[in-house]
Amino acid sequence: MLFVKRILSVLTRPSLFRTMAIMAFFLMLVQINRVGGGVLASEITDTYSLSPTVIGLVIGSMFFAAALVQVPVGLMLDAFGARRTLVGLSLIAVSGMILISFASGAAELIVGRILVGVGHGASITGVYLVAVVWTSPERVSTVAAITIAVGGALGGILGTAPLAISLETLGFSDTFILLAIASLFSSFLIWKLIDDKKSFTEKPNTGEGLAGSLVGFFEVIKDRNLWPIFAMALCFSFPFATIGGLWASPFLQDLYKLTSVEAGGVILVMAFGVNLGTFLYGPLERIFNSRKWIVLSGVMVMIVSLLILAAMPTASLILVTVLLSLFSLASPIFVTLAGHARGYVHETRSGRVLATVNFLGVGFIFVVQFLTGSLFEVLLNFGFSTEIIYRVIFLGVAIFLFFGFIFYSFSRDLRPTAIETNS
């Protein structure tokens, strides 16, 4: 009984643990929608009989919307604080999930996914601002990274095999109603229990306003030192979102005759790889004292994995799972790439640099998902087998990554230790 009272005391007393646990729960639900595209693609194909082009549009529309709202979301966070912004936008996401649950065709699905993308547009930045309130400056990045990693890991797990099981047992509509209820509950917890007054009332006053902020964005974009990094930024998110979040499940079901639940199990392994990679990149850049070459190494692992998959799409399921896992392990390059970009600008511009990197990466997800969906449909209409089409998709993603690799290789490496010494 005493133990239960202590647990309840921890949960009800304002604390760093309670605050970040609530934020991790919120991010978990966000990640289910982001990662669940691969499982969802198969389900909506069966339920709505949509073409590959339309499926790519449905899955990618959420990321397109999330990219478009990055600048206004940043301004909202400055004006209203993390708590109000997160809750307000989350209600938009909930409305999107409800619309998806009652969708009768592609139009409702696309609008619903757009609303979810808009509603989750402030999630990562909001978590960071909440962490600012609850911990010391030197620990903010660590606390935020752990929260994001835990929430992302749990959401990545639930958005794979468990989501597939839910869709199979409860059905499409009830699954999204449950997600909407859970998201509404997380919004309630944030509204009632999260304190963000410090980030709202004690933020530095730059005196810029809207016009000055927009000018600041253009100044960042014009910095030629950042162009190679921006080229790589296009590639930090779409590879896993396209392979793991869209085509992996159909690929495994079409060529290996796996059920949606079995395919979800493989995607679950891929999600574990992503989360492990998220934890590994930070230590690796410190061990080797490099950001540029750690990113390039990760991208090369992704390219090689995809090329082998393109050459051997019907190899043993074990080998394919290993290759997809290696690809996933190498894919979370964002943190290291963001650190590289931040090193070129004054700290007053770092937010804009990160917003630009995030905009490019998230926005390009939509482009590649739509292109691969259209390509799948065109090749299918020309009589190509699904095996050939999946070869082309793996090869196409590898080519995109290769061009990013080439452009990024011209960047100047900013070593972590050198940056810390200068700071």
The number of beta carbons lying within 10 Å of the beta carbon of residue 343 is 21
Distance CA 5, CA 399 (A): 57
Integer Cα distance of 102 and 79 in angstroms = 34
Cα–Cα distance, 165 to 324 (Å, whole number): 21
Backbone angles phi, psi at 170, to 5 degrees: -90, -30
Residue 415 three-state SS: coil
Residue 56, Cβ neighbours under 10 Å: how many?
Answer: 27
Triad 310, 304, 279: Cα angle to 5°: 120
Buried-exposed string 61-100: b where 16+ CB fall within 10 A, e elsewhere = bbbbbbbbbbbebbebbbeebbbbbbbebbebbbbbbbbb
**Phi-psi category of residue 49: left, alpha or beta, with phi > 0 → left and psi -120 to 50 → alpha:** left
Q: Per-residue pLDDT tens for 189-218?
A: 999 988 876 544 444 444 455 555 566 667
Who's near 318: CB < 8 A, 6+ residues apart?
none
- At 389, which amino acid appears? I
15-200, CATH topology level: Growth Hormone; Chain: A; (1.20.1250)
What is residue 22's predicted lDDT score, i.e. its pLDDT? 93
Structure tokens that stand for 294 in this block: 């750690």
pTM of the entire predicted model: 0.75
Place of tokens 């917890």: 189
Which residues have CB under 8 Å from 182's CB, separation 6+?
29
The superfamily CATH assigns to domain 220-423 is MFS general substrate transporter like domains (1.20.1250.20)
Q: Where are the domains of the chain?
A: 15-200, 220-423
Task: Measure the CA–CA gap between 42 and 21, rounded to whole angstroms.
Answer: 32
Quick one: pLDDT at residue 37? Answer: 80
Under DSSP, the state recorded for 159 is T
Place of tokens 């643990």: 17
Instruction: Check for a shared fold between 15-200 and 220-423.
Output: yes
* Burial status of residue 241 (CB atoms within 10 A of its CB: 0-12, 13-18, 19 or more): buried
What is the maximum span of the chain, computed from C-alpha positions, in angstroms? Answer: 70
**203: which DSSP letter?**
-
- Whole-angstrom distance, CA of residue 413 vs CA of residue 423: 17
Cα–Cα distance, 326 to 90 (Å, whole number): 33
Tell me the three-class secondary structure of 52-114, residue by residue.
Answer: HHHHHHHHHHHHHHHHHCHHHHHHHHHHHHHHHHHHHHHHHHHHHHHHHHCCCCHHHHHHHHH
Give dist(CA 74, CA 71) in Å, integer: 5
What are the residue ranges in the chain where pLDDT is below 70? 1-14, 137-142, 145, 197-217, 346-352, 354-355, 417-423
Q: What pLDDT sits at residue 204?
A: 45
Nearest to 106 by CA among 60, 48, 157, 61: 48
Asked if 239 and 394 count as a contact pair (C-beta separation under 8 A), the reply is no
